[in-house]
Structure 1
Amino acid sequence: MDKDIKKVRAHLLISGRVQGVSFRYYTQDIAQNLEIKGWIKNCWDGKVEVVIEGEEEKVKKLIDWCYRGPGSAIVEKIDIKWEEYKREFNSFSIRG
């Protein structure tokens, strides 16, 4: 593992038409392809919540994709909170 590669953690709250459009499943597939760890879940208020960890460049690529989402999604806003990298996850999962 290259010690120069910066690892980051981001907590996202995605608003818009993001439930019922397979957003979680597409995000999981892309996260796994980018070797990003964490989780994604639907919230009671219609938003999608995501916590991700990985190489900074790859995390930013996933966030860029989240702004577009799958074809039938309409992403209105993403609140991003950068957090301390914790190496908390072994995989990327869909919760609840």
Structure 2
Amino acid sequence: MNSIRSKIVVSGRVQGVGFRYHTRRIALKLGIRGYAKNLINGSVEILASGSQDNISELRNWVSIGPERAAVEAVDLLDEKELIEGGVVRGFESFTIL
């Protein structure tokens, strides 16, 4: 099974609604490693590493988010664009930063 990495930036009403907590719960359930963190502009950034199917499932979930969220946009950056100096950094689990 091939692993991919995606950087996902979700904007809208995504801070103060449990978005990172629920994203972590879904990511751990799917076996995805990485992080979710709030950005200063009010968006949430997610860096996810896992199987293509599981990353797709996470992407689908974040486009809706938890009940109190109001997602307006989801921007994606795929693995080959995340490689820095030929090295892709790994993650042990999925954390909230």
Runs of 4+ that moved beyond 4 A: none
Question: 1:52 and 2:48 equivalent?
Answer: yes
Map residues 43-82 of structure 1 onto 2, 5 A cutoff: 43-82=39-78
TM-score (norm 1): 0.90
Map residues 1-80 of structure 1 onto 2, 5 A cutoff: 5-80=1-76
5+ residue gaps, structure 1, are: none
5+ residue gaps, structure 2, are: none
* CA-atom RMSD in angstroms: 1.2
SS at match of 1:60: helix
The number of residues matched between the two structures is 91
CA shift, 1:7, in A, is: 1.1
Question: What amino acid does structure 2 have at the position aligned with 1:94?
Answer: I
Deviations 1:16-47 (A, max 9, x none): 00000000000000000000000000011100
TM-score (norm 2): 0.90
Deviations 1:39-91 (A, max 9, x none): 00001110000100001000100110000100010000011000237361010
CA shift, 1:10, in A, is: 0.2
